Amino acid sequence: MAESIDFYGALGVSKTASATDIKKAYRKLALEHHPDRNKGNKESETKFKEVTKAYEVLSDPQKRQTYDQFGAAAFEQGAGQGPFGGNPFAGGFGQQGQGPFTYTYTTGGNEGGFDFGGFSDPFEIFEQFFGGTSPFGRQQRRPVYSVSVSFMEAINGVAKRVSIDGKTQTIKIPPGVDNGSRIRFQEYDILVEVAPDRKFKREGADIISDIELSFAKASLGTEVEVNTVAGPVNLRIPQGTQPGTVIRLSGKGVPRVRGSGRGDHYVQIKITVPKNLTARQKELLKEFDQEKGNPARYFFQVLVSGGSGVSYFFLCLSK
């Protein structure tokens, strides 16, 4: 970072600002200029790096004192960046603004069972990434261990036995973690690898799945059981449902790691079209296609009045 950069000015605070004011200013600017919210915006990217560097220095009393005496030049060579190149929002391996957040647990000093007390304040988490014991030193990169879990284990949480430095430890994976999530412990990080699922597609805290309906059921309406990660749900399909219709099941998605509640489950409707038709079925389809006026209304009127042809038609198509 160039010497002309004023760390206090970057955060918009005075030189006499308290630690609380500095943290508050950083929170506001870091969220405003976060790369995920400003994709392709070079100006915001530069600003994000500036406020991150400024907070890295000014949040540390020893570094702040050094900066007040010598200015930004004192931090140009290896001035204690975090393990992800100074960007506390990085998803890991130096990629800024990509991938899931890093989660931090408290262990309460229990090295055997890892009895977690819950998540820390996210902005307190960021502070742990910055600096080292020396204002001129670079923090040593923390060891990272990988843990593989199934799709549903990631949804519901699971305890895994992991070998760390030759010792077997029990690691508790919280509900809702995603592929690539990093869980921060006192002396190392855990990188979570989540296997994909054949039926469910995950997007953040939301789940997407497909259900197939026959032409008859989509036309007349029906009720189906939908499997969700929160358990089975009875879903009413209204008459006249079109291919590609998406129905939201609120609160039936993935538990949110950062916050309360769950995401949603989205069901996408696919209509099965019969490939092989008998002569009678083809005749009925042509009759349906050629009917004047509102064909849907006509068919339902015939069906209600006991029209055997339409009943037979839907019965055949549903097979």
> Would you say residue 285 lies in a domain?
yes
> Would you say residue 40 lies in a domain?
no
Burial of 181 (0-12, 13-18, 19+ CB in 10 A): buried
Tokens of 248: 């939201």
Comparing 5-19, 262-276, 294-308, the range with the smallest average pLDDT is 294-308
Q: Are residues 215 and 268 in the same domain?
A: yes
Q: Which CATH number belongs to the domain containing residue 238 in this structure?
A: 2.60.260.20
Residue 49 has pLDDT above 80, yes or no: yes
> Would you say residue 234 lies in a domain?
yes
Number of H helices, E strands in the chain: 10, 12
> Would you say residue 265 lies in a domain?
yes
Q: Which helix (H) or strand (E) holds 45?
A: helix 42-58
Q: Are residues 262 and 229 in the same domain?
A: yes
pLDDT of residue 234: 96
Which residues contact residue 26 at a Cβ distance below 8 angstroms, ignoring those fewer than 6 apart? 11, 51, 54, 55, 59, 123
> Would you say residue 211 lies in a domain?
yes
pLDDT of residue 4: 57
Q: Are residues 311 and 284 in the same domain?
A: yes
Q: Are residues 254 and 232 in the same domain?
A: yes
**Which is more confidently placed, 299 or 95?**
299
pLDDT of residue 69: 76
> Would you say residue 304 lies in a domain?
yes
pTM higher than 0.75 for the full model? no
pLDDT tens digits for range 158-213: 999 988 888 888 889 999 999 988 888 888 888 999 999 999 999 989 999 999 99
pLDDT of residue 91: 37
Q: Are residues 208 and 251 in the same domain?
A: yes
pLDDT tens digits for range 273-290: 888 888 888 888 888 777
C-alpha torsion angle, residues 76, 80, 86, 92 (rounded to 10):
140
Q: Are residues 260 and 283 in the same domain?
A: no
Instruction: Return the HEC string of 9-34.
Output: HHHCCCCCCCHHHHHHHHHHHHHHCC
Backbone dihedral angles phi then psi of residue 281, each to the nearest 5 degrees: -65, -40
Comparing 59-73, 220-234, 242-256, the range with the smallest average pLDDT is 59-73
The contacts found for 87-95 with CB under 8 angstroms, 24 or more apart, are 87/35, 87/48, 87/49, 87/52, 88/30, 88/52, 88/125, 88/126, 88/129, 88/130, 89/30, 89/34, 89/35, 89/36, 91/180, 91/182, 92/144, 92/180, 92/182, 92/191
Q: Are residues 306 and 253 in the same domain?
A: no
pLDDT tens digits for range 109-125: 333 333 333 333 444 44
Q: How many domains does the chain have?
A: 2
**Which is more confidently placed, 134 or 177?**
177
Domain that holds residue 246: 201-272
Mean pLDDT (the chain) is 74
Which residues contact residue 130 at a Cβ distance below 8 angstroms, ignoring those fewer than 6 apart? 55, 56, 59, 60, 80, 81, 82, 88, 139
Neighbours of 215 (CB within 10 A): 17
Mean pLDDT in residue range 254-271: 90
> Would you say residue 239 lies in a domain?
yes
> Would you say residue 37 lies in a domain?
no
**Which is more confidently placed, 208 or 66?**
208
